[in-house]
A and B are shown apart, each in its own frame.
Chain A
Amino acid sequence: MIPAPFDYQRAGSADEAIAALAEHGDEAKLLAGGMSLLPLMKLRLATPAVLVDIGRVRELSYVRDAGDHVEVGALTRHRDLETSDVLAEHCAPLRTVASEVGDNQVRHRGTIGGSVSHGDPASDLPALLLALDAVFVVRGPAGERTVSATEFFRGFLETVLEPDELLTEIKVPKTPGAGFSYQKFQRRAQDWAIVGAMAVRNGGTRVALVNMGGTPLRAVAVEEALTSGASIEEAAERAADGTDPPGDIHATPEYREHLARVLVRRALDAASG
């Protein structure tokens, strides 16, 4: 399978990438690691006329301590997240979830910004960034704006990013001493989650779901039940409330709802241990 023909441009900097997007508009797509976009192009589900390769924009590859949060450059690869000393000290959940993405080969190429911009509800990192209340920094021709994780994901493969905008950085609050667990259910080790559930216990409790609707979701009903004093078992029964899980070759919506309840319970148990 080979992508439809396109013009290829390599951007040397974030500004060059934004200029290329301004020139080509809707016709152009940004290429980071290519782990999501290239498969879509090979299947001809995406046929951009211009591909702007930002894979070598090194200025957007970093993980740094910024006081109460960690700044992660959008082009930081999963491999660099899962081996990051800064994350080990200040945000272990991000390191853990990055190590669950795909497989070694995918993590050598794929980037956090690519995963987030793709907006796939079956991806691991968007749900975590939602649970952690991360903030996305977006740059366009008119300058920079910040978007909270709750605002960022709009629908299936749809985010607030405009065609001429580039995600440059993700600000992730530090989670010192937080209990954390990610329960990912899949048929083959490297697959997307059929359903995933993650719990962050850090004073309060945040629960997020992978592949239970058009976007990554917070399990609000579970969080509220816990706040009202429900046990983990009771709260986990609410895991599928307000979700709209897809039915596909892997699972029916009903089975996904069952998985959500079981995985949320396991995640809460593990994060409390």
Chain B
Amino acid sequence: MQVELTVNGGSQRHDVEPRTLLVQFLREVVGLTGTKIGCDTSSCGACTVLVDGESVKSCTMLAAQADGSEVTTIEGLARGDDLHPVQASFHEEHALQCGFCTAGMVMATVSLLDEIPHPSERDVRLGLEGNLCRCTGYHNIVRAVLAAAEATR
């Protein structure tokens, strides 16, 4: 079937099987491998992208369901060499070690700060409950999210 969606501002029209998952579409058809497949069961959040501005787990959504939507992946955040404020604060606050969860964490954070621009620490911890990190113990991630919110105040 034909699926047409906007990925990071550009139109992507491809003929795919109906069972194609959005994450497969992004990684294998469009070729954007910044979005990771972690648990593949909608638990870990590594595959988080934005669909029409809201965070979703792209391993548990069909590309067909996103037909006509605007999708943003980690590759779509920076403007040239200028990191998105959330990317910059993850860098500054050392909010990653191995980095596997980071693309999903950053995308979930962008969505969270859109819904709650000035979150409390509790808001951040609850807001990122769908994203697992096995390295950091989360403290620096929470700091980075709060710093990103502060930077845009």
Query: Size class of A's contact patch?
Result: 20 to 34
B residues 55-100 in Cβ contact with A at 8 Å: 55-57, 60-62, 64-65
Contact call A102/B18, Cβ cutoff below 8 A: no
Contact call B40/A42, Cβ cutoff below 8 A: yes
Whether a CB of chain A sits under 8 angstroms from the CB of B102 is no
Contact call A106/B57, Cβ cutoff below 8 A: yes
Whether a CB of chain B sits under 8 angstroms from the CB of A105 is yes
A53's closest neighbor in chain B, by CB? B65
B60, B61, B111: the one within 8 Å of A104 (CB): B111
Contact call B24/A104, Cβ cutoff below 8 A: no
Contact call B42/A8, Cβ cutoff below 8 A: no
Contact call B41/A3, Cβ cutoff below 8 A: no
Whether a CB of chain B sits under 8 angstroms from the CB of A248 is no
Whether a CB of chain B sits under 8 angstroms from the CB of A142 is no
Whether a CB of chain B sits under 8 angstroms from the CB of A202 is no
Query: Size class of B's contact patch?
Result: 20 to 34
Whether a CB of chain B sits under 8 angstroms from the CB of A195 is no
Contact call A102/B60, Cβ cutoff below 8 A: no
In the complex, which residues of chain A have a beta carbon less than 8 angstroms from the beta carbon of B111?
A: 104, 108
Whether a CB of chain B sits under 8 angstroms from the CB of A109 is yes
B101-124 toward A: CB 8 Å interface, digit per residue (1/0)? 000000010011001000000000
CA distance A41 to B43 in the complex (A): 16
A6-49 toward B: CB 8 Å interface, digit per residue (1/0)? 11101000000000000000000001001100110110000000
B residues 11-51 in Cβ contact with A at 8 Å: 17-21, 24, 40-43, 45, 48, 51
In the assembled complex, the CB of A179 is this many whole angstroms from the nearest CB of chain B, namely 23
A1's closest neighbor in chain B, by CB? B40
Beyond A8-B1, A42-B41, whether A2 also contacts B21 by CB under 8 A is yes
In the assembled complex, the CB of A62 is this many whole angstroms from the nearest CB of chain B, namely 19
- 7 closest Cβ pairs, A-B complex: A103-B130, A8-B18, A189-B129, A108-B54, A3-B19, A105-B57, A105-B130
Given contacts A41-B19, A104-B130, A108-B111, 7 further A-B contacts (CB under 8 A): A5-B18, A34-B62, A55-B65, A104-B111, A105-B57, A106-B130, A188-B129
